[in-house]
């Protein structure tokens, strides 16, 4: 369920893959269509991960929840409905899975995301910091071994999917998020 593609297509008639960074994730939706659209995409992506993981936990426990959640994350990264083309970077979907299998760790990692974002205004730095903190919080809160393995693997995956962002950060070329309404048009004015 590529919400970052579907919502802009349904509500604005645009293909998000042709705007901004071209990524069908919540960050690009915020940058190109505004906070409300981006928040809706992020919440739906969180719900997608949480629903899969909660169903897995209900059926068989933490391991099944993690496996179902990982399937949702992979589906977010390479969506069936987009012909397995590039999808989002799994941050919100990972957050949803974590909420289902390690609620306190997920909430703490969300706090890290918010704090780092407020300090830097880099969504990529916030996502990486939250991802790195997630397995640490899971350990601190006494999560089961499948959850520790999941949070560690998810952190690595998020870092790998952000490698282009890391290169841009090191080169001083990464875009900060603007806290204003973007202008949708022919230019990428919202990406300053």
Which two tokens mark 163?
Answer: 């490698």
Closest by CA position to 96, among listed 124, 63, 62, 70: 70
The structure tokens 């399937």 sit at 71
3-class secondary-structure state, position 182? coil
Q: Supply the pTM of this predicted model.
A: 0.81
3-state SS class at 170: helix
Q: What is the pLDDT of residue 84?
A: 65
Instruction: Give the model's pLDDT for residue 85.
Output: 66
Positions in the chain short of pLDDT 70: 82-85, 87, 179-192
Structure tokens at 86: 């590039």
Cα(121)–Cα(50) distance, integer angstroms: 26
């Amino acid at each position: 369920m590529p919400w970052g593609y579907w919502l802009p297509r349904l509500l604005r008639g645009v293909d998000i893959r042709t705007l901004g960074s071209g990524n069908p994730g919540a960050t690009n939706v915020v940058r190109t269509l505004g906070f409300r659209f981006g928040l809706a995409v992020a919440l739906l992506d969180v719900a997608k991960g949480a629903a899969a993981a909660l169903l897995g936990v209900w059926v068989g426990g933490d391991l099944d929840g993690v496996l179902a959640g990982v399937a949702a994350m992979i589906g977010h990264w390479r969506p069936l409905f987009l012909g397995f083309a590039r999808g989002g970077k799994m941050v919100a979907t990972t957050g949803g899975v974590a909420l289902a299998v390690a609620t306190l760790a997920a909430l703490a990692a969300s706090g890290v995301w918010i704090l780092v974002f407020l300090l830097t205004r880099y969504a990529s730095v916030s996502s990486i910091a939250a991802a790195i903190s997630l397995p640490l919080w899971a350990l601190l809160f006494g999560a089961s071994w499948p959850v520790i393995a999941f949070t560690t693997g998810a952190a690595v995956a998020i870092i790998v999917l952000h490698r282009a962002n890391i290169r841009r950060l090191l080169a001083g070329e990464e875009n900060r998020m603007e806290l204003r309404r973007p202008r949708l048009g022919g230019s990428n004015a919202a990406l300053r």
